Structure 1
């Protein structure tokens, strides 16, 4: 899990998902990345069980896996803000 959290771009994706669930296409737009890049990033997060995926028609919708992961992200952001 911590290896998955060690990449700043994966953290950015988690922060976006902490706001609300999002489709891969929406994440691509927000991150300015191609679908393959975002999909690979999401696969790492999914394998680490930090996010969950559900299908909506032909779209994959991603969300934070559970409240424990959300608390971890919120605490990390709070910690980073305290030390700047």
Structure 2
């Protein structure tokens, strides 16, 4: 993956990128993204995995969805959440790997 620092970005694009980092700034939301790495899950499954209330997890997912970090699809009566795309997986993996490095 390469990043062109000279690329011309609009103010909206920079604002959207900042919004993604804002959504990632909460440890519990970041944990949800880690749980969704490589799989789909319902709010119920995610709430159970985190030992949280459904409403709490639902609010966190709403923030992540608004920041375009997670996608969702309906299956029957359930809504399944997943990482929005490979960029999100790379972003989360990179942040976690960087945090685990000895500096």
Shorter chain as denominator, the TM-score bin is over 0.9
Match of 1:81 in 2: 100
Q: Does 1:15 align with 2:34?
A: yes
Kindly tell me the number of residue pairs found equivalent between the two proteins.
84
Larger radius of gyration: 2
What 5-or-longer segments of structure 2 have no aligned partner? 1-19
Match of 1:71 in 2: 90
SS of 1:33's partner is: coil
Q: Does 1:30 align with 2:59?
A: no
Deviation string, structure 1 residues 17-74 (Cα, Å, up to 9, x no partner):
0141111110010011111000000000000000000001010100000000100011
Q: Distance in 2 between the 1:70 and 1:55 partners?
A: 22
Greater relative contact order (Cα < 8 A, sep 6+): 1
Match of 1:5 in 2: 24
What 5-or-longer segments of structure 1 have no aligned partner? none
Match of 1:54 in 2: 73
SS of 1:78's partner is: helix
SS of 1:83's partner is: coil
> When the two structures are superposed, what TM-score results if normalisation uses the length of structure 2?
0.78
Q: Which 4+ runs in 1 deviate beyond 6 A?
A: none
Pick the structure with more helix per residue: 1
> When the two structures are superposed, what TM-score results if normalisation uses the length of structure 1?
0.96
Pairwise CA RMSD: 1.0
